[in-house]
Amino acid sequence: MAKFTFNMPDVGEGVAEAEVVEWHVKVGDTVSEDQHLVDVMTDKATIDIESPVDGKVLEVAGEAGDVVSVGAMLLVIEVEGEVPDEVEEANEEANEEAAEAAPAPKDDEVEERIEVETSDASDADDAIEAEKTEPVRPEPVEGPGETVPPGASTGSARTEKVLATPAVRKRARDLGIDLAEVKPAEDGRVRHGDLDAFLSYGSGGGFAPAAAKRDDEELKVIGLRKRIAQNMAESKRNIPHFSYVEEVDVTDLEAMRADLNSARGDKPKLTMLPLMITAICKLIPRYPMINARFDDEAGIVTRHGAVHLGMATQTDKGLMVPVIRDAQSKNLWQLAREIGRLAEAARDGSAKSEELSGSTLTVTSLGPLGGVATTPVINRPEVAIIGPNRIIERPMYVPDGNGGERIEKRKLMNISISCDHRVVDGYDAASFIQELKKLVETPVLLLTD
């Protein structure tokens, strides 16, 4: 028998570490070559790690949420005989890459660690000394039907005179009821039936709870949720956001959408999103600063010719952004089909790495939940994100054709845009949205060159 230390393999160019998302084996399990061991997540994708050998798992590197560096121990597997040379070589390569990528600690960092360790040790000594000298606390005193906490007065406080079991007291406390106000049915002791009677006759006093009390719940932030948190924090920390919102009349656009859907045949049903994407793509050549990415470390803004449009999609695991490649080259029906395919792939976890990266501009929409207006967070390193909001019906003044006006029920929607103020000026963002408004309110223009 021999022990084989399986190190974290190279999982992508420029990737130095990966987060453990889910283990599929545990210590003591027997594994075979190519068996799925663990899911890990990098900045770019979630990756399945498979076993290079047959054997028995002796040790695993941490639990879900822990980060493992490339070249660091991932598992220890007990194997029979010798480990194949190619497996050992792959392990050694991962070790060499990790050693090259890891910077040597600075002298002041070493000194700081020594100081922290010394401080922790002295704190531990202080804690031990305090424990030795801490006085012994008196035990709780239990009386008939009630418990008096240590140090509490046993004098004439009103609530201490009421006889009730701890269960009744807890229920009354959760309901916000003063036991002194409850009249006991017999022998001066308040029972659950007395509380029920009090609630029945005194419910008008607001004693009925709004909801049952629930225990606190702690959830470890791991996987996609952790990645979302990191990306949002980086975006807000590094990008000076500004938002602009405009109201748009989509009555005619909705009417055109209904007409197109009524004659679509076997084509996918059109939603508002393909129409919005078409309008955006028509305007990008005149507003190239909107369809750009900013490498702030290199100080370079790249204005992209193609529109690789990110589509913010809510999944059970959190927000994902699948990418519609070359959106400017697709018609309405092609966009609708691609939107449906990518959204389904994101939700069922089958989306590929290349389908979840490389966007140049993002659209985010909550549909009927879109609210009056939104201030979406930019998908860094992009410089803009556009958010159509909820459609509402409202009476509006419209021309009556005779030089006057009449009141008519219209469908209205606000369009929000958030921009990186280092790259996009407020005037440019406002001009872009005003041009988008004209296109949306004259939808026939969407179907022309």
Cis peptide before 135 (omega within 30 of 0): no
Cα 279 to Cα 248, 276, 384, 417, distances in angstroms = 13, 5, 16, 14
C-alpha to C-alpha distance for 324 and 333, rounded to whole angstroms:
13
Written as six digits, the tokens of 382 are: 């992009």
Among this protein's residues, is 421 annotated catalytic? Answer: yes
- Residue ranges of alpha helices (H) inside 308-366 are 332-348
Cα 351 to Cα 25, 38, 234, 335, 435, distances in angstroms = 24, 18, 24, 17, 34
C-alpha to C-alpha distance for 355 and 309, rounded to whole angstroms:
11
Catalytic residue from among 34, 425, 428, 449: 425
Sign, CA dihedral 279-285-288-292, equals positive
Catalytic residue from among 241, 249, 421, 428: 421
Total residues found in the chain within this entry: 449
Written as six digits, the tokens of 75 are: 């598992």
Angle (nearest 5°) at CA 137 between 135 and 138: 140
Describe the strand order of the beta sheet including 67-69 as a list of residue ranges. 46-50, 36-41, 17-23, 67-69
Contact of 38 with 74, CB cutoff 8 Å:
yes
Cα 435 to Cα 284, 320, 426, distances in angstroms = 11, 29, 14
Number of other residues whose CB lies within 10 A of the CB of residue 385: 28
Among this protein's residues, is 304 annotated catalytic? Answer: no
C-alpha to C-alpha distance for 334 and 316, rounded to whole angstroms:
26
C-alpha to C-alpha distance for 68 and 132, rounded to whole angstroms:
41
Contact of 335 with 329, CB cutoff 8 Å:
no
Q: Which residues are catalytic?
A: 421, 425
